[in-house]
Amino acid sequence: MTDHDAIRRLLADYCFGTDTGDTERWLGCFTDDIIWDGGAFGRFEGKEQARAYHRQAGDAMLNFRHINSNPLIDVDGDRASVDSYVQVYDQSGPTSTLIFSGFYRDTLAQQGGQWLIRTRDLIADSALLVATAEPVTQTA
């Protein structure tokens, strides 16, 4: 498996671990010193805080589907960076509802021949729109 394939698999494992409530599978995606910053969704550092974060969500996670797409992967030895889209759908009603859209910005480390997420920042599309909006001025 190429590095790019292994990284795409890692991103999928994260989503499946999240949405199936499989805390150990989800934790297996991280380095021991993980720093995860989800903005309004919270922040944690290290696997013990990660474990508590995932478990507190309980069965509610089973209603969600995290869709990770279009990864831009840059590998540099045993380090990599990845920017990718993420959309989260709520499956609890009669139809799927998009509840979040944004980006993951990740740094990865290869440890023991396995790629792992070292840092993950979640950036909402709405935050990008606010940050890049320029005032509109009218001219006569």
pLDDT tens column, 39-82: 988 999 999 999 999 888 777 678 899 999 999 999 999 999 99
Asked, for residue 135, whether it belongs to a domain, the answer is no
Residue 120 included in any domain: yes
Q: For residue 7, is it within any domain?
A: yes
Q: Could you tell me the two tokens for 85?
A: 């889209």
Rounded distance between C-alpha atoms, residue 17 and residue 77, angstroms: 27
pLDDT higher than threshold 90 for residue 136? no
Return all residues near 140 (Cβ < 8 A) that are at least 6 apart.
none
Q: Which residues pair with 36 in a beta bridge?
A: 44, 120
Query: Three-state DSSP class for 28?
Result: coil
Q: Is residue 121 assigned to a domain? A: yes
pLDDT at position 129 is 53
Domain count, the chain: 1
pLDDT at residue 96 tops 50: yes
What pLDDT, on the 0 to 100 scale, is given for residue 140?
44
Residue 26 has pLDDT above 50, yes or no: yes
User: At 69, which CATH number?
Assistant: 3.10.450.50
Domain annotation covers residue 139: no
Q: What pLDDT, on a 0 to 100 scale, did the predictor assign at position 74?
A: 98
Task: Identify whether 67 is part of a domain.
Answer: yes
Write out the residue range of the structural domain in which residue 120 sits.
Answer: 3-129
pLDDT above 90 coverage of the chain, percent? 77
Residue 108 · residue 121 · CB < 8 Å: no
Residue 7 pLDDT level (bands cut at 50, 70, 90): very high
Backbone angles phi, psi at 99, to 5 degrees: -115, -15
Residue 18: how many other CB atoms lie within 10 Å: 21
Whether 137 is covered by a domain: the verdict is: no
Rg (CA), the chain: 17
Q: Nearest Cα to 42, choosing from 30, 33, 54, 60?
A: 54
Total-model pTM: 0.86
- Percent of the chain scoring above 70 in pLDDT: 89
Q: Is residue 57 part of a domain?
A: yes
